[in-house]
Amino acid sequence: MRRLPAAEIPQPMRANDPALHYAPTQRLEWGNYVIAVGDRNVIISCKLPYPKWPNFKSKILEIVGLIAEVGVAGNVERFSVKYVNLIEAPSLAEQIAKIDLTLRIGSLEVNDDHFDMKVHHVEGETIHILTVITGATAGMPDGREAFGVVVDIDSIRNIQPIPFDAFAQGLDGELETLRLSNKIQFFGCLKQATVDEMRPVYE
């Protein structure tokens, strides 16, 4: 367990700053998983290599179940599934070519440029935050540095406030539904040739 920078900011200040409402203050590493906790949220993520959805989902449900047993004050108002992938390509033009995207600003056609784009798309009770960043680098599990375009899909489901234990009991189906919506958004961002290169395995 280690304290994160937001923990050094007094709690009343965090409560008054909307930008800090969901900032994690503590981080716990548990095998291949990371649990971060803030004043209003719990974040469960996995390390690389990705353990595949069935394994990740079972850990999410296990952790949420343990938190429900401990007892948490307050209600759950929203939950989300976030998927981040770096698609490798050596040049900016090749990175952009992998995304199903046409971007023009005035007379400027974006073909081989660095850009950082974020779109908030509302779909019923779900908000999909789609982020695309070209020219990104990342450290891989084998120690090498990868270069490519980041596609980040954060799907947030707003719900009627519900006690945490009741939320935990019904999470399995809700999580699966949101994950499917998230996956559709992710693959919808890619050209078919890019999907074929990734050789996805569908459970």
Per-residue pLDDT of the chain (203 residues; tens, 9 = 90+): 899 999 999 999 999 999 999 999 999 999 999 999 999 999 999 998 889 999 999 999 999 999 999 887 789 999 999 999 999 999 999 999 999 999 999 999 999 999 999 999 999 999 999 999 999 999 888 888 999 999 999 999 999 999 999 999 999 999 999 999 999 999 999 999 999 988 766 55
Strand partners, 82: 154
Q: Tokens 């919808």 map to which residue?
A: 188
Q: How confident is the model over 147-186, as pLDDT tens digits?
A: 999 999 999 999 999 999 999 999 999 999 999 999 999 9
